Chain A
Amino acid sequence: MTAPQRTTAIAAACLAVSMSACVLLLRNIDRIRPRATIEDALYISSPKMVKRASLGFDGLMACIYWTRTVQYFGHRHFDNARTYNELAPLLEITTTLDPHLVPAYEFGASFLAPKPPGGAGEPERAIRLMKYGIEHNPDNWHLYYDLGFVYYMELKDYPSAAAVFESGSKVPDAHPFMKIMAAQMAAHAGDFSTARMLWSATYESSKESIIRQNALEHLRALKVDEDVTNLEAAVADFAAREGNPPVSMSELVMAEHLPGFPVDPDGNPYQLTLDGQIQVWNPDDFPFITKGTPPGYNPPPPKFHTQN
Chain B
Amino acid sequence: MSPRIVYIAFNTFREAVRDRVLYNLIAFALLLSGAAIFVGQISIDIERLVVVNLGLTAVSLFGIVIAIFIGIGLVSKEIDKRTLYTVLSRPVRRWEFIVGKFLGLAGTLVVNTFFMAIGVFGALLYVAHKFSKPDALILVALYFIVLEFLIICSLALLFSSFSSPLLSAVFAFSLFVIGSFADDLRGFATLTHGITRWVATAAAYLVPNFSALNVISAAAHQQPMGSHLILQNTLYALFYTVMALSGAVLIFERRNLK
Chain A interface residue number, banded? 20 to 34
A31 to chain B, nearest CB (A): 10
- Docked-complex contact B247 and A15, CB < 8 angstroms: yes
Residue of B nearest to A19 (CB): B243
Check A18 for interface membership: any CB of B closer than 8 A.
yes
Residue of B nearest to A34 (CB): B223
- Docked-complex contact A18 and B242, CB < 8 angstroms: yes
- Of A14, A64, A67, A71, the residue contacting B246 (CB under 8 A) is A14
- Docked-complex contact A37 and B205, CB < 8 angstroms: no
A26 to chain B, nearest CB (A): 6
- Docked-complex contact A12 and B235, CB < 8 angstroms: no
B112 to chain A, nearest CB (A): 26
Check A3 for interface membership: any CB of B closer than 8 A.
yes
Check B191 for interface membership: any CB of A closer than 8 A.
yes
Check B38 for interface membership: any CB of A closer than 8 A.
no
Given the interface pairs A29-B233, A32-B229, the reply to whether A15 lies near B246 with Cβ below 8 Å is yes
Check B172 for interface membership: any CB of A closer than 8 A.
no
Check A240 for interface membership: any CB of B closer than 8 A.
no
Tell me the bound Cα distance from A8 to B181 in angstroms. Answer: 33
- Docked-complex contact A70 and B235, CB < 8 angstroms: no
A285 to chain B, nearest CB (A): 28
- Docked-complex contact A33 and B239, CB < 8 angstroms: no
- Docked-complex contact B191 and A14, CB < 8 angstroms: no
**Which residues of chain A from 6 to 26 have a CB within 8 Å of any chain B CB?**
7-8, 11-12, 14-15, 18-19, 21-23, 25-26
A29 to chain B, nearest CB (A): 5
- Docked-complex contact B205 and A29, CB < 8 angstroms: no
Given the interface pairs A7-B95, A12-B246, A15-B246, the reply to whether A25 lies near B253 with Cβ below 8 Å is no
Check B196 for interface membership: any CB of A closer than 8 A.
no
Chain A residues with CB under 8 Å of B191's CB are: 67, 70-71
**Which of B93, B228, B240 lies at the interface centre, i.e. has the most chain A CB atoms within 10 A of its CB?**
B240
Check B218 for interface membership: any CB of A closer than 8 A.
yes
Chain B residues with CB under 8 Å of A26's CB are: 205, 209, 212, 236
- Of A19, A21, A29, the residue contacting B229 (CB under 8 A) is A29
Given the interface pairs A22-B205, A32-B229, A67-B187, the reply to whether A11 lies near B93 with Cβ below 8 Å is no
- Docked-complex contact B240 and A18, CB < 8 angstroms: yes
Check A297 for interface membership: any CB of B closer than 8 A.
no
Residue of B nearest to A28 (CB): B232
Chain A residues with CB under 8 Å of B246's CB are: 11-12, 14-15, 18
- Docked-complex contact B205 and A8, CB < 8 angstroms: no
**Which of A8, A11, A23 lies at the interface centre, i.e. has the most chain B CB atoms within 10 A of its CB?**
A11
- Docked-complex contact A7 and B232, CB < 8 angstroms: no
Check B15 for interface membership: any CB of A closer than 8 A.
no
B49 to chain A, nearest CB (A): 10
23 residue pairs A–B, Cβ–Cβ below 8 Å: A7-B93, A8-B253, A11-B95, A14-B243, A18-B239, A19-B206, A22-B236, A25-B232, A25-B235, A26-B205, A28-B232, A29-B212, A29-B229, A29-B233, A32-B232, A36-B218, A40-B217, A40-B218, A43-B217, A64-B181, A67-B184, A67-B188, A71-B187
The 10 closest A-B pairs by CB, nearest first: A15-B246, A18-B243, A14-B246, A21-B239, A18-B242, A25-B236, A18-B239, A11-B249, A11-B246, A71-B187
Binding site for A on B (CB under 8 A): 93-95, 181, 183-184, 186-188, 190-191, 205-206, 209, 211-212, 217-218, 223, 226, 228-229, 232-233, 235-236, 239-240, 242-243, 245-247, 249-250, 253
16 more A-B contacts (CB under 8 A) besides A18-B243, A21-B235, A32-B226?
A7-B253, A8-B253, A14-B246, A15-B243, A18-B240, A18-B242, A26-B212, A26-B236, A28-B232, A30-B212, A32-B232, A33-B229, A37-B183, A40-B218, A43-B217, A70-B191
